[in-house]
Amino acid sequence: MRLRDLPAIVYVIIAIGFIFLPVVVLVQFSFQDGILPVPPFKGFSTQWYERVFDNRRLMEALWNSVLVGLLSSLVATVLGFLAAYGLARSRPRFAGAVQYLLMAPITVSYLIIGMGLLITFNMSGIGKSLLAIGIGHVVINLPLTFAILYSQMGEHQANVERAAHDLGAGDLQALLLITMPMLWPALLAAFFIAFTLSWDEFVIAFLLSRFDVTLPVIIWSMLRSGLSPELNAVGTLVFGVSILLALLVEFALRRGRRTK
Amino acid sequence: MKRWAYVPALLWTALFFILPLSAMLALSFTERVAGRTVWSFSLANYAAFFTRADGAFVEALLNSMEVTVAVTVLSILVAYPLAYILAYRVPARWQRLLLVLVVLPFWTSYVIRSYSWLLVLSENGTLNAAMTGLGLIDQPIGLGNTRGATILGFVHFFTMLLTLTIYANLVQIKESYRKAAADLGASAAQVFLRITLPLSLPGVAVGAFLTFVLAIGDYITPQILGGSRELLLPQAIMLQIGRQADFPLASALSMILMLVVTVAFLLFARRLKMERV
């Protein structure tokens, strides 16, 4: 370490301080032994976590979030995979247009996507429900799963698929026994990224839910009654799950790089 | 089968994205009379945007633009040095770890993230406690419910996003370019201004575009941190849905928001292409 590096080191420390400040405050005051999540810190207590786990509405919302997240990510990954596979292998004449259409939702605000779905569902009678939220989450995640998987569809896999076809495999066999196993890390990464976004998504879930709500929606309604260490505890748990998912993505992508 | 594999995804997008947006477009040209939607062509909602007596909608759009531009510029200014240090000053084997660490809070849900900033900024919150403790101020000051709080919350998130895009760009610039420039007598500042900076602009542009799109369409951050003293466009849209259930007007406002994003996209797209030449 040289003197020349000092400004850089100071800058990184300040930047990391800024980036971690809200997270540290969130986590620290989830253990507050008092009723307000603000200084002074009165001592370590896990009472707020007990409150969270005893809160039936919160636990129901947690379960709803997991359910919506798992199913919508599964659908988004399967649709994204099929689309990437179809476009990469058959190269239709209008592939550019299809790609553009599939990526389009990424440029539109979640608020507008949610409102559009609300209007459409009101007209068609599907109504506000977990199903409606799940459909919305597939819409926002499909561009991402498609983009991730499309970027991983290389010539290498195409050659192995061709070999499989020469040995008598049908399309479906080649897809299930060759393409999917080879793309396993990318499929996992796409699935976990989709799950993370669904898990954290608020506006669409807020607009499309009535009685069955997801975790961010219930956190939002708790927020209206002001600051509370219970909110910190829920927030810390949600954050913890997101970090875990992020690490899984990192792990999956790293394995993908190694097997290449 | 191969040939049709992309059809399900396309159908999904058509049914749950194109169709709803088309419905909104159609709805934006209808009018609401006495609480009911009248299905006849009308520009009333778009006229309302410009002519509403208190100018609330135009103001909301202007507020949104000001906040978004400020956020984009500030985030670039904070993120660029960070990405630069990570890419060029940190030993290669530590880079990935440090990058993951730096963007870890990126994964907090946006409701939680805004709430956490509220904790930091509130009158009896951490920042006020720290400043009073240090003797910088005698009286705690209310930092929440201001435009500054909204901007701070946004800059926090988009600094992480921009650090990622700029870093990804910087590590791709060949070291030989910088070495060649230095060999030919360029000073460190010249190498940065004439080699590194121009070559890193695509990464900045990608990040800036994402920042612009995500910030201008976000409802949560301004609602939680900015309060309702001034409205940004997404808040104005949400008000139409929530309190009034006026979907035609909300649709028209959404179309205007999408138009702004499209214009921004075209501007950025041109910039990106020019960089490639």
Question: Tokens 């949600």 — which residue?
Answer: A238
Q: Which helix (H) or strand (E) holds B31?
A: strand B31-33
* CATH architecture under which domain B56-276 falls: Orthogonal Bundle (1.10)
ipTM computed for the complex: 0.88
In Å, how far is B177's CA from the nearest CA of chain A?
Answer: 22
CA–CA distances in Å: residue B225 to residues B12, B118, B229, B235: 35, 6, 11, 12
Percent share of chain B, pLDDT over 70? 96
pLDDT in tens, B147-169: 999 999 999 999 999 999 999 99
Taking residues B20-48, report their average pLDDT.
86
Binding-face residues of B in 138-167 toward A, CB within 8 A: 156, 159-160
Residue A2 covered by a domain: no
Which chain A residue shows the shortest CA-CA distance from B223? Answer: A220
The residue ranking higher by pLDDT, A192 or B277, is A192
Name the residue among B10, B82, B124 with its Cβ closest to that of A38: B124
Tokens of B198: 């121009």
By CB atoms closer than 10 A (0-12, 13-18, 19+), residue A94 is exposed
Whether the CB-CB separation of A85 and A154 falls below 8 Å is answered with: no
Asked if residue B178 has pLDDT above 60, the reply is yes
Binding-face residues of A in 179-218 toward B, CB within 8 A: 196, 199-200, 202-203, 207, 216
**CATH number of the domain that A236 lies in?**
1.10.3720.10
Handedness of CA B105, B109, B110, B115 (dihedral sign): negative
Residue A5 covered by a domain: no
Among A46, A29, A30, residue whose Cα is nearest residue A38 = A29
Residue A46 covered by a domain: no
Split at pLDDT 50, 70, 90, the class of B100 is confident
Residue A11 covered by a domain: no
Whether the CB-CB separation of A197 and A239 falls below 8 Å is answered with: no
Residue A25 covered by a domain: no
Residue A191 covered by a domain: yes
Residue A14 covered by a domain: no
d(CA B239, CA B225): 17
d(CA B233, CA B210): 18
Residue A1 covered by a domain: no
- C-alpha distance across the termini of chain A, in Å: 36
Pairwise CB contact (< 8 Å): A11 & B219? no
Asked if residue A83 has pLDDT above 50, the reply is yes
Would strands B36-38 and B31-33 be described as parallel, antiparallel, or unpaired?
antiparallel
Split at pLDDT 50, 70, 90, the class of B271 is low
pLDDT in tens, B4-26: 888 999 999 999 999 999 999 99
Number of structural domains found in chain A: 1
Asked if residue B131 has pLDDT above 90, the reply is no
CA–CA distances in Å: residue A87 to residues A27, A152, A240, B254: 45, 12, 37, 32
pLDDT of residue B275: 46
Whether the CB-CB separation of B48 and B255 falls below 8 Å is answered with: no
Q: Tell me the residue range of the domain where A214 lies.
A: 54-259
d(CA A96, CA B186): 43
Asked if residue B171 has pLDDT above 60, the reply is yes
Split at pLDDT 50, 70, 90, the class of B277 is very low
Whether the CB-CB separation of B146 and B229 falls below 8 Å is answered with: yes
Q: Is A38 an interface residue toward B (CB < 8 Å)?
A: yes
> Hey, where are the domains in chain B?
56-276
